[in-house]
Chain A
């Protein structure tokens, strides 16, 4: 069964199994990101070049994964998941500690975070699990899907890395939702989650994480410490106004008042210079990418590909939403970068790998199943 869908346009893209609208969206945001990074990074060309190289690497990974037919992902899903869990356990036993959290596994040459793998492995595994089960899922199937999500979530939250744990937990939740989790249950789970928050607060969260939440609720309570980030970020955004101060003219970021202006808080630097207009344009671009991704997922041929595509795209949304929400003071400070914008590598690679898979499952559709 080798016949493929004939697309009308984009011969080149068709040959490379890429989706032109999605690719265009990703390239536009990445390019804009580099422009903003030049300003937010105090006009340091090394920063921009480094980020460009990382983006290039990300696109190569995306391109590579797009070439693989989805059945490969499906076959490898349980193995990748298993290896990921084993690596998380290895981190627990023998990981490196940096900044008070045990996240890194040192393999002699490279250090990496196994939790990063789980951002892909959990949606893959949940999709694999539901692939041959009738949907909407039965009770006991739901429990299986929940277990697949909760185990890595706990392992990562224990490290502690609440940001990544949140992503991994949401990835599983997204897949369950897309699988057709009943509304009744969904509302019940939300209620249970709300009830679990006090327990979570007391037993799972670490002091610095509690501090972040407290500071979020009342940033003025600690204006010199953690609250400083939020206060300065709000000043940067607010002083940008409707049209912004113009590229390279942001005073907050250039006078060093805005901490982490090129990484987690780059959205504030962007909003200061490009104003409400620029920020809304960026949000619209993100919305376009998510919309296109969801469309592609819904056109995918079978349960596995649909669930995988849907949850991968929603993870991307989660990054964009949580970061822009945190920088503007809508959400607590969770260390998630703004996708394709923030300086830094690991999560960028994971996201691009996810887009590679989304492209693959759309472009490898078989005519028969339509």
Chain B
């Protein structure tokens, strides 16, 4: 056993045993060191050579460049791409306008310059205040805007005296414009001035000279596509910084035009029928995931946001209890209520806890074994004996209480997750919420409580912890209609090169399909959904339809009734009324549209939400756009060319 003595010198014979020849190795090292030194010398010589090249051979050129910075690089911001709907109706373009800016480094006396300007054009205190606010964070050699949207008369008045006002410039720019105003705002979004937090994250090269950036909607998610690439020019300037001549120029690359999958006529119908409610309607093409309409009420006009909305208007929008700025279609989270039952039924079939014909007796309530608490059915007297088909058509709660208990929440979670429940669908719009698909693990982690049987019952009818966005419901409906084929929802239909006018269609984004053990499970659920419309809870909208609809009503409780209370819509305040929901797809044989409707505090799903979905489907499938049929035919306001 050797004693471990780390600091002891290794015995010399051990070294010899390993055939180390220190003298030879020392000489080897010396040769290598000499070579390394030679390489080091060459390395420094290369740098020195480079310095000679820069400091001796090109000294004059660089002196010229450094001297008074006579040569400047000016960024040339690109023209932002336009946005159209799927039929080419203009949704966003750019309007030429002029603004006044001051470069402080060149303005000898800022106060005097402002006084001079006041004698020629109107300057409000708000203009001055904004100017100083913007100036604080801009380098002194850059222009800071003072007045936007100069009139022709103002330009003429200023142009005469411009030479007397060093540092003052009139600049042409392009202002983003949304000709249809509030229509489709939650999908399109808007651009606004780049703020300080954004500034720190942006590539300074690409955004120098740019003042605006997409803030929300498509404007934000496709910022990179819409923007284009900044060009620049090298200009020689005089001592005041005025350009004398352009030395070289690299033109900017304009941004791509976007064609959205949205049909603005359908969007208008959806927003119109939803008017008066807070809520959302999402319509998808189930065959490829294209969003045909994405309505969220209330809406707001994006145009004031472009050059900075005034404080009072913004506060009014922001503090309104109707929350018009909230995009309910992808950020509104609601209990899905009975609209979840088709998915639950499918899960029941898939895991074999029910079959198509197995029945449950519904006495109007359900009791957990060993408990006296009654979980009520919406129908007081009960539905009697029900099988899956009738349970869906009549929306029997007891059937699904029983089903959910047999499944257990974790199997519900596993199955519904495949339909993007509880997680974002991945739509190409910013800020989508994942909502909540509960599980035992989730409740332990977040609520610090175990999962109870009663929790499963609530989840079985889309209540309790369960939450979903309208987009998730529309997506799940689309997947059902395609019997498992699944596509990521998207609003981009095609891009177009503004120069060549070549249109590139956006390919569908397939998701991994939902598979079930027996394809006939789909038929069972879809048949149940057809019977919802044909003789079931939504029979009113089935009447007189020229195509067959499969749907499911939902009525989501906003607050919980006590055991002996009964629900009376007339006695409840509006904000405590149930949310009305409806999901549907049509035509049944060859589905071309999947819709989800949510009307907050709208009352019943069958009475309030279902008729809205019918109107949207009529518009799409039967071309019944009413007053909105001509939106596309009308030229945009003041005849602005569309760029073609």
Contact = CB atoms under 8 A, between A and B. Distances in A.
Contacts of A241: 55-56, 59, 63
A209 interface: no
Interface of B is mostly: helix
14 contacts: A132-B18, A135-B28, A178-B36, A238-B65, A239-B66, A240-B55, A271-B55, A276-B55, A279-B55, A290-B40, A294-B37, A321-B47, A328-B54, A330-B50
A243 to B, nearest CB: 10
Q: Which of B40, B56, B63, B230 has the most CB of A within 10 A?
A: B40
Given A283-B48, A303-B20, A306-B29, 6 more contacts: A239-B66, A242-B56, A271-B55, A310-B33, A314-B40, A321-B40
B559 interface: no
Interface string B194-225: 00000000011110100000000000000000
Contacts of B26: 298, 306
A367 B63 CA distance: 58
A135 B10 CA distance: 18
Interface string B551-582: 00000000000000000000000000000000
B316 interface: no
Interface in A216-270: 222-228, 234-242, 251-252, 255, 257
A283 B44 contact: yes
B233 to A, nearest CB: 11
A325 B20 contact: no
Contacts of B62: 234-235, 237-239
B203 A225 contact: yes
A21 B391 CA distance: 94
Interface in B360-394: none
A279 B51 contact: yes
Interface in A31-84: 71-72, 75
A314 B44 contact: no
B626 interface: no
A328 B47 contact: yes
A112 interface: no
Given A132-B15, A178-B29, A287 B40 contact: yes
Q: Which of B56, B61, B66 has the most CB of A within 10 A?
A: B66
A125 B61 CA distance: 49
Given A329-B50, A330-B46, A242 B32 contact: no
A367 B10 CA distance: 17
A325 B9 contact: no
B138 to A, nearest CB: 14
A307 to B, nearest CB: 8
A134 interface: yes
Closest 6 CB pairs of A and B: A225-B205, A238-B62, A239-B66, A224-B205, A238-B54, A239-B62
B504 interface: no
A178 B66 CA distance: 44
A232 to B, nearest CB: 9
B66 A252 contact: yes
Contacts of A298: 26, 29-30, 33
Contacts of B206: 225
B25 interface: yes
Interface string A159-194: 000000000000000100110100000000000000
B232 interface: yes
Contacts of B36: 174, 177-178, 294, 310, 314
A70 B354 CA distance: 78
Interface string A331-368: 00000000000000000000000000000000000000
B643 interface: no
Interface stretch (B67-75, B151-159, B271-279, B538-546): B67-75
Interface residues of B, number: 50
Nearest to A180: B28
Contacts of A325: 43, 46-47, 50
B32 A177 contact: yes
Q: Which of A75, A242, A279, A298 has the most CB of B within 10 A?
A: A298
B6 A75 contact: yes
Contacts of A237: 51, 54-55, 62
A141 to B, nearest CB: 12
Q: Which of B61, B62, B230 has the most CB of A within 10 A?
A: B62
A286 interface: yes
A328 B7 contact: no
A321 B33 contact: no
Contacts of A72: 7
B19 interface: yes
B166 to A, nearest CB: 19
Contacts of A223: 73, 205, 232
A178 B20 contact: no
Interface of B: 6-7, 9-10, 15, 18-22, 25-26, 28-30, 32-33, 36-37, 40-41, 43-44, 46-48, 50-52, 54-56, 58-59, 61-63, 65-67, 69, 73, 75, 203-206, 208, 230, 232
A98 B343 CA distance: 44
A325 to B, nearest CB: 6
A290 B40 CA distance: 8
B183 to A, nearest CB: 37
Nearest to A291: B37
A222 B205 contact: yes
Interface of A: 1, 71-72, 75, 132-136, 174, 177-178, 180, 222-228, 234-242, 251-252, 255, 257, 271, 275-276, 279-280, 283-284, 286-287, 290-291, 294-295, 297-298, 302-303, 306-307, 310, 314, 317, 320-321, 324-325, 328-330, 369
Contacts of A275: 55
Contacts of B37: 290-291, 294
B54 A303 contact: no
A72 B8 CA distance: 10
B7 A134 contact: no
Nearest to A327: B47
A1 B67 CA distance: 66
B30 to A, nearest CB: 5
Contacts of B25: 135, 180, 303, 306
Contacts of B47: 283, 321, 324-325, 328, 330
A287 B41 contact: yes
B642 to A, nearest CB: 31
Contact of B58 (A133, A226, A238, A242): A238
B51 A180 contact: no
Contacts of A252: 66
Nearest to B15: A132
Contacts of A177: 32, 36
A235 B44 CA distance: 21
A289 B55 CA distance: 25
A177 B56 CA distance: 36
A240 B56 CA distance: 9
A241 B7 CA distance: 56
B66 A251 contact: yes
Contacts of B58: 238
A224 B22 contact: no
Contacts of B61: 238
A228 B204 CA distance: 10
A190 to B, nearest CB: 13
Contacts of B9: 1, 71
A238 B63 contact: yes
Contacts of B230: 224
B54 to A, nearest CB: 4
B28 A224 contact: no
Q: Which of B28, B44, B48 has the most CB of A within 10 A?
A: B44
A251 B68 CA distance: 9
A351 B138 CA distance: 39
